[in-house]
Structure 1
Amino acid sequence: MPRTPRNRIAADKGGSPDARQAHASDSATFLIHPVLPFRLDLTVWALRRRPGNLIDQWDGETYRRVLIVDEMPFEITVAQNVNRSRAVRVTIHGKISDSRTKKAIRQAVENAFGMRVDLSSFYRFCARDSRLAPLVRRFEGLKPPRFFSVFDGLINGIACQQLSLSLGIQLLNRLAQNFGRPAPGGDPLAYTFPRPCDLAHCHPMELRRLGFNFRKARAIIEISQAIVEGKLNLEKCASLSDQEALQQLMELHGIGRWTAEYTLLRGMGRWHIFPEGDQGARNGLKRWLHLHGAFDTKREQRVLAAWEPFGGLIYFHMLMKGLDEAGHLALDP
């Protein structure tokens, strides 16, 4: 497992913003050359999951999100060149004080969109499988995305527990609108994902009013408090083995196996994990394979065993197949 770098995105502590703004520029643009094949549009959809996602915004050409780096909000836009290089252009809007900000955002974007992930072994594997080959060709260029922090992944998992994905994302939108920070310039439609320090002092009723049940509200607040108080380090958890990370996460209030595995896949980049008990992915798998009868966890695991160690990549392709069938993707018939 690759070493997880220190995450400066949405950090809880930082230097004086006023001091840093004294020598700040308002924007910066740079190019990233991803490992090919890479399609930004497909990877953005795998990250945002539903068109109603207000945190990860996409207009068909440009991805947009607000990040916090060392206590300062920045709006980023990401677009891919249509020329042969397929380079990705990233623009940062906000008071950029030094090169560390640009470096942190570059690293965050590369991680979030899997730009350094080489899927050549996966493509070779799928080319030999009559079922996987057409599915993977359909979405060639999709990279496995990950949330911008492990905390982001864990809270996403909690919000979506035992709900449809669309309803879970509505809860996350409300959480960002009420507890996130607005984009530089005060755009009312763009907010950061809340940090632990934004949620640690909430009262459960504040989250209940947004639509979270009491168990989810308690879990979000207690996890945030533990991080702020230094009792929990989720980024350090990302350096543990699968079993150790699962055990640590499942010791937290309100975290079961599905949420823990979802966090490992989407928050830590464990691309071999297909979250156990994900009903949407399981139903998609069953439809795609034209299976009949009960499709429980044991049967799901038997099916996935033939495709190890690529369970998480199959999971993302099931998501994309559903989005494609719903007409959200700009793909040829």
Structure 2
Amino acid sequence: MTTTVFVLHPVAPFRLDLVAWALRRRPTNALDRWDGRSYRRAMATADEVVEAEVGQTGPAENPDLLVRLTGPQAALGSAKDQIGEILSRSLGLGMDLNAFYSLAEQDSLLRSLVTRFRGLHPPRFQSWIEALGNAVSCQQLSLNVGISLLNRLTDRYGKASQNGLRAFPTAEDLARAQSAELRELGFSTRKATVLITLARRLADGDLDLDSLAGADDATVLAELCALDGIGRWSAEYLLLRGFGRLHIFPGDDVGARDKLRRWLSLPEPLDYRGVNHITERWAPYAGLVYFHLLLDSLATSGWVAATPAAETDDG
């Protein structure tokens, strides 16, 4: 194995710890790892699995990210640029938050929330199969159970690095799976069939979600909801965490609804229309509010520090 090091430059302000937790969602997440200092993850390239370790140097207002890639020398040489691009997208490094912060200044409640998590950039899943895998796995289940299913899926089908760290399965990996195998991992027959079918369509090139990148929301939602096993919640979840459309607050997300209701001290539960009505005031950044409410709940559980992270002197 060999190691190569390079630097990525996020748009300030940026806090890696907050973004890592927005990806992790639960401390049991075995794919996106955070040790209090570095974000680690195995990433599948065309040839091998490479381990990426990302650490922040400098404070939130003047951040750099030191990236260490470890793997076979041949794989590192060909994958460095590709992995840099994937990390930049998945960690939201290019997002300029100034307009969102200006909006928050006009709303005292939002300002308080945003100030606690200043530097949170919006994350995205690294691949379409990972986005679909998360959407399908977490449908109608608690997040704890969904993360557990994803861990088992990764452990069973993800390729391992030379250190044994597993990457999320590729579409080709899951296309070869059988429904009975996924049922052994805890997936329902329905979810197993849906996930394998989607993986096979991605692997065959029959499903091209990249082609929808420039389409309007209504078109993308219609195309996604036409997929077997993908309903409105999954489609909006994919719009936010897959396509990176930050004006989307998944209105059918029961957990997010409850977070929103508690944050606003509303006496009654919210429905889909109620969520959309409330979040209109934060357009076009309702999705950023979604991520900040997620971090707020993680901070309440003691997993995330809402105060500024200590400056580090290396990665």
Q: Give the shorter-chain TM-score range.
A: over 0.9
Give the equivalent residue in structure 2 for 1:92: 69
Aligned-pair identity (%): 42
Distance 1:85 1:305, change over 3 A: closer
* Equivalent residues of 1:150, 1:238 under 8 A apart: no
Q: Distance in 2 between matches of 1:43 and 1:315?
A: 13
* Equivalent residues of 1:150, 1:268 under 8 A apart: no
Of the candidates 51, 54, 77, which is equivalent to residue 30 of structure 2? 54
Give the equivalent residue in structure 1 for 2:46: 70
- In the TM superposition, residue 157 of structure 1 has moved relative to its aligned partner by 0.7
Matches within 5 A, 1:76-155: 76-82=52-58, 85-97=62-74, 99-155=77-133
Deviations 1:18-45 (A, max 9, x none): xxxxxxx722101112100000000100
Deviations 1:114-133 (A, max 9, x none): 11110110000101111110
Matches within 5 A, 1:217-236: 217-236=192-211
Q: Distance in 2 between matches of 1:265 and 1:104?
A: 22
Q: Which has the higher contact order (CA 8 A, sep 6+)?
A: 2
Of the candidates 28, 31, 50, which is equivalent to residue 4 of structure 2? 28
Q: Which amino acid aligns with 2:261?
A: K
| RMSD of Structure 2 on Structure 1 (CA) | 1.6
Larger deviation: 246-255 or 284-293? 246-255
* Equivalent residues of 1:151, 1:234 under 8 A apart: no
Give the equivalent residue in structure 2 for 1:3: none
Q: Which amino acid aligns with 2:149?
A: L
Distance 1:122 1:85, change over 3 A: closer
Q: Distance in 2 between matches of 1:196 and 1:237?
A: 18
Number of aligned residue pairs: give it: 306
- In the TM superposition, residue 299 of structure 1 has moved relative to its aligned partner by 1.4
Q: Distance in 2 between matches of 1:260 and 1:151?
A: 14
Q: Distance in 1 between matches of 2:258 and 2:49?
A: 39
Q: Which amino acid aligns with 2:235?
A: A
Of the candidates 169, 174, 196, which is equivalent to residue 194 of structure 1? 169
Find runs of 4+ consecutive structure 1 residues off by over 4 angstroms.
none
Q: Distance in 2 between matches of 1:63 and 1:152?
A: 18
Q: Distance in 2 between matches of 1:210 and 1:79?
A: 33
- In the TM superposition, residue 148 of structure 1 has moved relative to its aligned partner by 0.5
Q: Which runs of 5+ in 1 are unaligned?
A: 1-24
Of the candidates 209, 212, 216, which is equivalent to residue 187 of structure 2? 212
Q: Distance in 1 between matches of 2:155 and 2:269?
A: 40
* Equivalent residues of 1:154, 1:260 under 8 A apart: no
Q: Which amino acid aligns with 2:271?
A: D
1:285 and 2:260 aligned: yes
- In the TM superposition, residue 158 of structure 1 has moved relative to its aligned partner by 0.5
Q: Distance in 2 between matches of 1:227 and 1:302?
A: 35
Give the equivalent residue in structure 2 for 1:178: 156
- In the TM superposition, residue 99 of structure 1 has moved relative to its aligned partner by 5.0
- In the TM superposition, residue 234 of structure 1 has moved relative to its aligned partner by 2.3
Give the equivalent residue in structure 1 for 2:145: 167
Give the equivalent residue in structure 1 for 2:311: none
Q: Which runs of 5+ in 2 are unaligned?
A: 309-315
Larger deviation: 81-90 or 204-213? 81-90
